[in-house]
Amino acid sequence: MVGARESYARAIGAGEWAGFSCSLDEPGDHSKVEAALRRSEPAVSDALESLDGSSPAQDRLVLDLLEHEAQHHGQLIRYLYGLKLAIPDSWKARYALG
């Protein structure tokens, strides 16, 4: 997710795909994963807020990022179910989970 957020934020700003890269170099370190996720969120927000009269290419990139994030939510939900962990109430409401 970190690499996708960083890469899509850069692509949205450029108006075209600019290649994949990820600043997270230690995916096994919980604190570094959390820090990278927190860093990547404002990068996406800033890219979206900077859009002023977006191009069709930028619109497609925004939709691709949305789809990518939704797919990961689905994966995370399956992990939570499988590990018998609590699913956040906001996710239950958004995805009609019981």
pLDDT, tens digit (0-9, with 9 covering 90-100), for 39-62: 999 999 999 999 888 899 999 999
Contact 19, 7 (CB under 8 A): yes
Kindly tell me if the per-residue pLDDT of 1 is higher than 90.
Answer: no
pLDDT, average across residues 30-41: 94
Task: Give the chain's domain count.
Answer: 1
What domain range includes position 79?
2-95
The CA distances from residue 67 to 8, 35, 62, 82, in Å, are 12, 23, 9, 23
Computed over every residue of the chain, the mean pLDDT equals 92
pTM for the full model?
A: 0.78
Please state the separation of Cα 14 from the chain's center in Å.
18
For residue 98, pLDDT beyond 80: no
Residues 6+ away with beta carbon under 8 Å from 61: 8, 11, 12, 17
Q: Is the pLDDT of residue 79 over 80?
A: yes
